[in-house]
Amino acid sequence: MQEAFQDASYKTPLENMLKICDDADKVLQQLNVTIASYDSLMKQLEVDISMVESEKKNVTELLQDYIQNIHKNLARIGSNSTIKIREKSLKKLKITLPVWEDNEKLYNLRLSDFVDEITEEGIRLFENNENAQEYIGRKVTSKNLYDTVVGIGNVQIQLYKIEEQRERQISWNQVARNSGGEGFLSAFVILSSLLDYMRKDDSDIFMDMHEGKVLLMDNPFAQTNAEHLLKPLMNLAEKTNT
């Protein structure tokens, strides 16, 4: 008997028919019972598959909403970082994101592939009595979801470097090369913007929009003593109520 028919659900009915092969009526009766059993099994499998597909669709939609929510909230960070420097309004922290609507089909395809990959590997781990929960927990994180679907590398972060005579926009990679007072100012811009974002609660209509935070720092202005750095720092602290 072929390996595909070694399963008991196939093997047993075939063996039963072989035992009665000398009686045509009994063979026909057994065949009808077997076909009816398989028809019932197929209908149940169709229902099960439909339920699985429906659940997969629900999970995918939930993940899509979650990733899109991350995308929207990333755009809000730094929204309150505009201050005046030398009579010019400058947005100290600028986060540029891909337009979700322009890439939605691609994002949906990536997410679908991601869910398929998780499903296949999860089934393999279950079948081998391995820890699928640990695998899923490691793969389904905010960072990995966003990076897989949108791509963290597609998010552009820019700050303004304040020099004595001018201001110029620099990339995230260039920020890391800032030192001394300029480095502290860049770090403060990011920290104050994050704190300002975390304080916001759009669902609370009674929230005090001037709610602030107190930062305890040990001699924070040691390296930030130049006027061209102190003024924007204090302006931003006042703007974000930090």
Question: Taking the model in full, what pTM does it have?
Answer: 0.75
Task: Flag the least confident range among 110-114, 119-123, 186-190, 234-238.
Answer: 234-238
55: pLDDT strictly greater than 90: yes
Each domain of the chain, given as residue ranges in start order, spans 82-97+155-242
Highest average pLDDT, of 8-22, 54-68, 182-196, comes from 54-68
Q: Helix crossing, 8-19 with 24-76: angle to 10°?
A: 170
Q: Could you give the percent of the chain with pLDDT greater than 90?
A: 35
Q: What angle do CA 30, 2, 40 make, to 5 degrees?
A: 40
Average pLDDT over residues 21-49: 85
- Dist. CA 23–CA 13, nearest whole Å: 15
Q: What is the mean pLDDT of residues 47-57?
A: 91
Nearest to 160 by CA among 240, 76, 81: 81
Which residues in 10-31 are b (16+ Cβ under 10 Å) and which e?
eeebeeebeeeeeeeeebeebe
On the CB side of 140, CA atoms within 13 Å amount to 21
Mean pLDDT, residues 204-213 taken together = 56
Give tens-digit pLDDT for 21-31: 777 888 788 88
pLDDT winner (highest mean) among 25-29, 129-133, 228-232: 129-133
**Residue 212 buriedness (CB in 10 A; 0-12 / 13-18 / 19+):** middle
Q: How confident is the model at residue 96 (pLDDT cuts 50, 70, 90)?
A: very high
Give the whole-angstrom CA distance, residue 13 versus residue 34.
Answer: 7
pLDDT bucket at 3, cuts 50 / 70 / 90: low
Question: What HEC string does 158-201 produce?
Answer: EEEEECCCCEEEEEHHHHCCCCHHHHHHHHHHHHHHHHHHHHCC
160: exposed, middle or buried (Cβ count in 10 Å: 0-12, 13-18, 19+):
buried
CA distance 153 to 165: 32
Average pLDDT over residues 95-124: 95
CB-CB neighbours of 114 under 10 Å: 18
